[in-house]
Amino acid sequence: MPCYNSSRHLEQAINSILEQTFTNFEFIIINDGSTDETHEIISGYKDIRIKYFHFKNNRGNYVARNYGLKMAKGNFICVMDADDIAYPNRLNIQYEYMLKNPKIGCLGSNADIIDKHGNCIDKINKPLIKGNRLATFFLMNNFMLHPSLMIRKAMLLKYELLYDTKYKYSSDFDFVGRCARHFSVINISDKLLQYRMHNTQISTNKKFEQKYYADCIRLARVNEFKIRLSDEQKKIYLKLMDNESSLTLNRDETGKALKILNRLLVNNEKLKLYQQNSLYHFFDYILSNKAT
C-alpha cells in the first residue's frame, strides 16, 4: 500500500487490513515522501505485521508499488490503496479462491463506491468472464479493479512483471494487461472493498493525463501484433477502443476500423498473442457497439 499525503483516510485503510479475518500476512506500507501526518500515523501502529518503508522524496505511485512487489515475501500479493477500506473477509476469500484455483494468477473483485465521507453511493461491477476472453478486453481498458487484486507472486517472478512507470497515471492498466497475456486473470462477484471516490484521486485529478497514457498503452498493444498504423488509422483505432459510449464511428470509419481489426486477427493467428476465437468475438462486440 503506497501512501502519499493520505492522512485523511489512512487510519481507516490500515485498520481494515489489520482487522482481516485472515491474519497470517505482512502488511507492506510505503510512504512515498508525504509532507502531511502520514508518517506519524503509520509510526503509531505497533503491529508486527506492518513493514514500513519511508521514501525521503516523492518518487511516484508505481515506483512505490514496484518497491513493494520486490519486498514482498509471501506467495500472494494483494494491492491496496491508502484511501480505500477492505471488507473484513477480503483476504480470506481471495486466499481460499487462489488455493482452489492454482491456474489463476491474478484475482480481482467487485466493490462498493463510497464518497469522501464514507457514504455508499454506487457499486463497481467488473465483467465475470473467463480469463482468455477477459485478456482481450485489456486491449480496450483495465477491466479489473486495481486495489482489489490478489496476484500469485510466482507468476510475477516467472514473467518478470513490474509496473512500467513510463505510463505514469495508467501503469495499472498496462500491468494487468501484460499479466493477462501470460496467465489467467479473473474477477469474482464478491464485493471485497469500499472504493473511495474524491476529487484528489488520480482518476479524477489527472483524468486527461490518464487518458493520454492509456492511449499510449492501447497503441503499444497494437505494435505487439507487428503492424503499423497511419496517423489516421491510429485515431480511428483509439476512437474504437475508447470506453466513452458517445464516441461512435461513422460508416467510413467503421469500414476502416474493420480493416484494422482484420489485420490484427491475421497477425494474431501467427503470433498467438491471444486466443483467436476470443479475440474475434471481442472485436465483433466492440465494432457492433461503436458502428452507427
Judged on CB neighbours under 10 Å (0-12, 13-18, 19+), 248 is middle
The per-residue pLDDT for 231 is 97
pLDDT digits (tens, 9 = 90+) for 15-70: 999 999 999 999 999 999 999 999 999 999 999 999 999 999 999 999 999 999 99
pLDDT digits (tens, 9 = 90+) for 68-102: 999 999 999 999 999 999 999 999 999 999 999 99
The per-residue pLDDT for 247 is 78
The per-residue pLDDT for 134 is 95
The per-residue pLDDT for 203 is 58
Question: Predicted confidence band at 113 (pLDDT cuts at 50, 70, 90)?
Answer: very high
Residue 202 has pLDDT above 80, yes or no: no
Residue 204 has pLDDT above 70, yes or no: no
What's the chain's average pLDDT? 95
Q: Between 276-290 and 251-271, two packed helices, what is the crossing angle to 10 degrees?
A: 170
The per-residue pLDDT for 131 is 87
- Please give the average per-residue pLDDT across 200-205, as a whole number: 60
Residue 200 has pLDDT above 80, yes or no: no
The per-residue pLDDT for 206 is 76
- Please give the average per-residue pLDDT across 92-118, as a whole number: 97
Which residues are CB-contacts of 35 (< 8 A; sequence separation ≥ 6)? 5
Q: Which of 4-13, 107-116, 205-214 has the lowest mean pLDDT?
A: 205-214
Q: How many CA atoms, within 13 angstroms, populate the side-chain half-sphere of residue 183?
A: 20
Query: CA-CA distance, 240 to 194, in Å (whole number)?
Result: 31
- Please give the average per-residue pLDDT across 165-181, as a whole number: 96
Query: CA-CA distance, 163 to 269, in Å (whole number)?
Result: 28
SS3 label, residue 138:
coil
- DSSP state letter for 79: -
Residue 245 has pLDDT above 70, yes or no: no
For the chain, list the domains and their CATH numbers.
2-204 (3.90.550.10), 224-290 (no CATH)
pLDDT digits (tens, 9 = 90+) for 132-167: 999 999 999 999 999 999 999 999 999 999 999 999
What's this model's pTM, rounded to 2 decimal places? 0.93
pLDDT digits (tens, 9 = 90+) for 216-236: 999 999 999 999 999 999 999
